[in-house]
Amino acid sequence: DADVTQTPRNRITKTGKRIMLECSQTKGHDRMYWYRQDPGLGLRLIYYSFDVKDINKGEISDGYSVSRQAQAKFSLSLESAIPNQTALYFCATMGQAVGPQHFGDGTRLSIL
């Protein structure tokens, strides 16, 4: 089983809908991240969490919110989806202050 699991893997929805992307991990890491990737661009940080009570905005947090329900679970919500939020979304975890981040397989989100 994957260490970092994202659900759903693919989602197509309409403008204005509320959407939740979920991430769960079995690595026991405190730090979790949400990134988005647009074609031809690298990953950009949306939100990150150092533990259950510590949530921080990243570079592009507008239009998104997150919830850290437990050490193992970190959800990303789009309150009212718009077409320019169509992208590939990645969740990642990290076990220490510095070191490698471990990525899920991504969620491909299309907003019509």
- In 3D space, the residue among 43, 74, 79, 72 whose CA is nearest the CA of residue 60 turns out to be 43
Backbone angles phi, psi at 84, to 5 degrees: -75, 5
* 53 contacts other proteins (rule: CB under 8 A): no
* 31 contacts other proteins (rule: CB under 8 A): yes
Strand-strand pairing, 43-51 and 54-57: antiparallel
* 44 contacts other proteins (rule: CB under 8 A): yes
| Cα–Cα distance, 60 to 46 (Å, whole number) | 5
| Contact range with other proteins by CB under 8 A, out of 19-27, 65-73, 74-82, 95-103 | 95-103
* 41 contacts other proteins (rule: CB under 8 A): yes
* 94 contacts other proteins (rule: CB under 8 A): yes
Backbone angles phi, psi at 83, to 5 degrees: -55, -30
* 63 contacts other proteins (rule: CB under 8 A): no
Question: Which chain residues interact with other proteins by CB under 8 A?
Answer: 31, 33, 40-45, 48, 56, 58, 88, 90, 94, 96-106, 108
